[in-house]
A and B are shown apart, each in its own frame.
Chain A
Amino acid sequence: MPYIPHTPDDVSAMLDAIGAERIEDLFDEIPAHLKAGSSLDALPEGRGEMEVTRLMAERAEQDRYALSFLGGGAYQHHIPAAVWEIATRGEFYTAYTPYQAEASQGTLQVIYEYQTLIARLTGMDVANASVYDGASGLAEAVLMALRANRKSKSNRVLVPEALNPRYRSACDAIVRNQDVALDTVPFCGQAGQTLADSLSQYEGQDYAALVISQPNYFGSLEDVDALTDWAHANSMLVIAVVNPTSLALLTPPGEWGSEGADIVVGEGQPLGIPLSSGGPYFGFMACKQKHVRQMPGRIIGRTVDLEGKQGFTLTLQAREQHIRRSKATSNICTNQGLAMTAATIYMSLIGPDGLASVAGHCHANTQKLADKLTAIDGVERAFTAPTFHEVVLFLPQDADTVLAKLAEKDILGGLSLAKDYGMQNAILVNATEVHTEGDLDLFVAAMKEVLA
């Protein structure tokens, strides 16, 4: 019996102790006619680890290797071998939420270190650990801003059109049930940025928060200082959506404008988490100290034990569902602990200079790729704004068609902006530190062929 240790003797000894004759007797409180449906005939017979591994290995190989320049919220990065070797140690992998603090000091200290790392990276006071991913994290941030902004009575939040459309749709799917409206701030079609000018129409209106994405979906860098100051001048909180790699080079949200962002969220995947078809990743979330009681999710504090020795424990639990139930800040319970553990190890290994050099290579490689591609006739940068590690290019042909032809050559040449922005000829391209000059040239050569 896979994973079940009992011998026939064990089973009879246990039944004897219970005073039952058969295992079936233990289900005598379930109305008999309800049990009929459970023959489970449509299920396959069980197989051994060898067969199932073989089946899955075949399927994994079927997902043909491709040279990828896809970004859009998930990025290829080098992951040091030590990250997952340690994160998948049974002591981390098979523990659960550290309710018994004395027997969970390992996980608890990791989280405390993680909170510190995220706070330092974002320039904020405190961080939680963790939310599911960047997009659902934005929904939590929006709901948090509504609670935290005592000056605002509205259920409305301003969201830039240049925000990752997947964030927008997931956020909307989550918050609309509480009648929260996300109003769209258009982007400048020339710059590919959200301009302070486009905000003037909302001046003096009651919104709880303004979302600022740095970089935005097009890879463009926003003038975050101006946007932040505008929001604060209009009694809105600022929710920053940021890429963690970029923060090694870019002004942290805590220093945006004169007061800094109020809440920061983002996708943690670039910090040592494999692409893995979209998850498990983790959403990071940080805020100013004064808003900490409005934050959802687990928070760990440092304290002392009976003997005055340093120790770590879950704290501010009165925000959480298991204590506050319907008055909790969120329904989140199980979070993304293991991915957060991996990210903590990644950040420690890569260090401040390492992260800056990863970010630098991402930026430089993307610039180089854009230069090479725009040297092809008819390929142009779509926008004028400076970019971090993604860039939008106009092609002389329909983007979806070109991308499909590239995919036939096993090159995933970017994401089409046709569906989300109605820009039929535009693609969003990313390069990171993993791409070699040879990779870029292969892509460029393939693009030339496809466009020819």
Chain B
Amino acid sequence: MSNETKLIFQHSRPGRGANAQAPKPVSEDQLSAIPASLRRKQKPGLPEVSELDVVRHYTNLSSKNFAIDKQFYPLGSCTMKYNPRGANRAAMLPGFLARHPLAPASHSQGYLACLYDLQNFLKEVTGMKGVSLAPMAGAQGEFAGVAMIRAYHDARNDDGRTEILIPEAAHGTNPATAVMCGYKVREVPVGKDGDVDLEALKQACGPQTAGLMMTNPSTCGVFERQIEAIAKTVHDAGGLLYYDGANLNAILGKVRPGDMGFDVIHMNLHKTFATPHGGGGPGAGPVGVSQRLLPYLPTPMAGLDEDSGEYSWIDTDTLPTSIGHLSAFMGNAGVLLRAYFYAMVLGREGMIRVGEYSTLAANYLLKRLQQVGYTAAYPERRASHEFILTLAKEAKELNVTAMDVAKRLLDYNQHAPTTYFPLLVPECLLIEPTETESKEAMDDFIAAMEAILHEAKTDPDMVKEAPFTQPVRRLDDVKAARELDLTWSE
């Protein structure tokens, strides 16, 4: 691991530069058309460094990261599966990289063909009637989905529907999205077995209900068994059913959101379709809809003229009821191409295997972790592609929290699971191994967890101080927030 501690600015020396990169300066003469009053008075403070300085600095920084390519990364709800290198190479083919987003369809047939095929692939996999690839991440897919629900009610002049129902275990993007779409949020409680409290849902549903946002398998890591009764309850009240596809990996090839009665869904291609997470993004959050929401899909979409065999864009001029554009151009095109590659390599059989083997891995890991002494949050339930451990007992008896175990895992060269989500399970670790991890990788993780539990019992103070092997020890988050230092100055 590198010990690079300087900032790029600290490598800067006046007059140095990566001189192979920039063209020769233009003369002041050539800039004379720009009024002096609009000209910048001082150079922007970018660093003055050589090409090698830059390459070495960022290469060294990269080595301070955990990543799927280096470690087991069981971050629940994020589906950190292997990101095929072939997908990256295909998306970075010069023909794709050079294409301007507004190039005419005549110069975009190959690209449009990929998008068109991907739309159809996703339709089939999810059982929906139409798909738009436009949203740029899961949260934007949610936005598109709820905006379509709103457009649907508006078109019917059904304007007393002011509320979106959301199970309390839901991801934070769900309530935040509902508010961005102009709705009030009403939370629905979740029962001890991880399923939605159906009676409470029935109470909450009414003429003010615009829809329900659900994740299934839920963020509790279990399949919602009453899904049909839930769908009926919401539909009977005149609301629509939204499917948060963050956990689609678990059910690929097993059961489709369309067949469960969902009206609108989003998918996270950066989870289920193996596109990279890039240290925080980019993602892609395509939306799928049932028949009644087809008119509202976000644009642009890829269309095919069956007679001429030509692909074209479907835009707001041909679909004026659309909720419109969510970005300047066509969303995260390069992510879509990577997902397309993945879909084509896996094909039908591969899709079915994703659901099967991710579920197998999670159930194996859960069972083994229970055997070494951990407590499952929902011990009576099958795991989906992920599951929750609760460390409430350890926190109470040993004063070792979920956070402490997460930090100590880093010392065992294992990325930590998701911690403290969902909020309703105390001291929780949400663990998702994915189908691409070998049994040996999982066994190493199990061994680390077992060792940590032993440490927690014999030397809790040490565990509370972990990690010891990383570039930094635990950080002072309070200081970070109190004494804001968000930019560097000399």
Instruction: Tell me the minimal C-beta distance from A133 to chain B in angstroms.
Output: 5
Instruction: Tell me the minimal C-beta distance from A405 to chain B in angstroms.
Output: 12
- Nearest residue (CB) in A for B47 is A348
Bound Cα distance from A355 to B471, whole angstroms: 33
Bound Cα distance from A127 to B332, whole angstroms: 22
8 A Cβ contacts from A1-40 to B: 1-6, 10-11, 13-15, 17-20, 23-24, 26-31, 34-38, 40
A195 within 8 A of B: no
B295 within 8 A of A: no
Could you tell me if B329 and A46 are in contact, using CB atoms closer than 8 angstroms?
no
Could you tell me if A351 and B326 are in contact, using CB atoms closer than 8 angstroms?
no
- Nearest residue (CB) in B for A276 is B334
8 A Cβ contacts from B213-230 to A: 222-223, 225, 227-228
Instruction: Tell me the minimal C-beta distance from B231 to chain A in angstroms.
Output: 11
Residues from chain B with Cβ under 8 Å of A404 in the complex: 104
Interface-forming stretch among A108-116, A182-190, A204-212, A232-240? Answer: A108-116
Residues from chain B with Cβ under 8 Å of A252 in the complex: 40, 44
- Interface centre among B39, B55, B282, by most chain A C-beta atoms within 10 angstroms, is B282
Could you tell me if B54 and A349 are in contact, using CB atoms closer than 8 angstroms?
yes
- Nearest residue (CB) in A for B413 is A103
Could you tell me if A278 and B331 are in contact, using CB atoms closer than 8 angstroms?
yes
Interface size on B, residues (CB 8 A): 202
Which interface class (under 10, 10 to 19, 20 to 34, 35 or more) fits A? 35 or more
Bound Cα distance from A327 to B337, whole angstroms: 35
A101 within 8 A of B: yes
Bound Cα distance from A299 to B486, whole angstroms: 8
Could you tell me if B281 and A334 are in contact, using CB atoms closer than 8 angstroms?
yes
Could you tell me if A275 and B99 are in contact, using CB atoms closer than 8 angstroms?
yes
Could you tell me if A62 and B137 are in contact, using CB atoms closer than 8 angstroms?
no
Bound Cα distance from A37 to B89, whole angstroms: 34
Could you tell me if A40 and B88 are in contact, using CB atoms closer than 8 angstroms?
no
Which residue of A36, A62, A333, A348 is within 8 Å of B109 (Cβ)?
A62
Could you tell me if B137 and A334 are in contact, using CB atoms closer than 8 angstroms?
yes
Residues from chain A with Cβ under 8 Å of B171 in the complex: 321-322, 333
Residues from chain A with Cβ under 8 Å of B25 in the complex: 353, 356-357, 360
Instruction: Tell me the minimal C-beta distance from B307 to chain A in angstroms.
Output: 19
Bound Cα distance from A405 to B63, whole angstroms: 51
- Interface centre among A247, A352, A407, by most chain B C-beta atoms within 10 angstroms, is A352
Bound Cα distance from A126 to B96, whole angstroms: 34
- One digit per residue, 1 when the CB lies within 8 angstroms of any chain A CB and 0 when it does not, for chain B 461-473 equals 0000101001111
- New A-B pairs, 20, CB < 8 Å, besides A80-B20, A90-B67: A40-B124, A53-B90, A73-B329, A92-B279, A107-B279, A113-B9, A177-B181, A255-B41, A275-B97, A277-B330, A282-B282, A302-B485, A315-B480, A334-B281, A338-B280, A353-B43, A353-B48, A354-B17, A355-B44, A386-B35
- One digit per residue, 1 when the CB lies within 8 angstroms of any chain A CB and 0 when it does not, for chain B 449-490 equals 000000000000000010100111111110111011111100
- Interface centre among B138, B359, B488, by most chain A C-beta atoms within 10 angstroms, is B488
Residues from chain A with Cβ under 8 Å of B94 in the complex: 60
Asked whether A36 and B51 contact (CB < 8 A) given A13-B439, A305-B472, A330-B180, the answer is: no
Bound Cα distance from A312 to B93, whole angstroms: 35
Residues from chain B with Cβ under 8 Å of A350 in the complex: 18, 21-22, 46
8 A Cβ contacts from B331-388 to A: 331-335, 337, 340-341, 344-353, 356-357, 359-361, 363-364, 367-368, 381-382
A201 within 8 A of B: no
Could you tell me if A325 and B175 are in contact, using CB atoms closer than 8 angstroms?
yes
Could you tell me if B23 and A357 are in contact, using CB atoms closer than 8 angstroms?
yes
B263 within 8 A of A: no
Which residue of A101, A135, A326 is within 8 Å of B178 (Cβ)?
A326
Instruction: Tell me the minimal C-beta distance from A319 to chain B in angstroms.
Output: 11
Could you tell me if A333 and B173 are in contact, using CB atoms closer than 8 angstroms?
yes
Asked whether A106 and B64 contact (CB < 8 A) given A121-B44, A311-B475, A353-B25, the answer is: yes
Residues from chain A with Cβ under 8 Å of B26 in the complex: 357, 360-361, 363-364
Instruction: Tell me the minimal C-beta distance from A223 to chain B in angstroms.
Output: 8
Instruction: Tell me the minimal C-beta distance from A7 to chain B in angstroms.
Output: 9
Bound Cα distance from A119 to B113, whole angstroms: 40
Could you tell me if A328 and B324 are in contact, using CB atoms closer than 8 angstroms?
no
B202 within 8 A of A: no
Could you tell me if A82 and B328 are in contact, using CB atoms closer than 8 angstroms?
no
Could you tell me if A335 and B280 are in contact, using CB atoms closer than 8 angstroms?
yes
Could you tell me if A333 and B136 are in contact, using CB atoms closer than 8 angstroms?
no
- Nearest residue (CB) in B for A107 is B279
Could you tell me if A277 and B61 are in contact, using CB atoms closer than 8 angstroms?
no
Could you tell me if A280 and B332 are in contact, using CB atoms closer than 8 angstroms?
yes
A154 within 8 A of B: no
A132 within 8 A of B: yes
B72 within 8 A of A: no
Asked whether A30 and B255 contact (CB < 8 A) given A40-B351, A102-B407, A279-B335, the answer is: yes
- One digit per residue, 1 when the CB lies within 8 angstroms of any chain A CB and 0 when it does not, for chain B 304-334 equals 0000000000001100000111111111111
Could you tell me if A279 and B282 are in contact, using CB atoms closer than 8 angstroms?
yes
Asked whether A170 and B344 contact (CB < 8 A) given A29-B222, A90-B68, the answer is: no
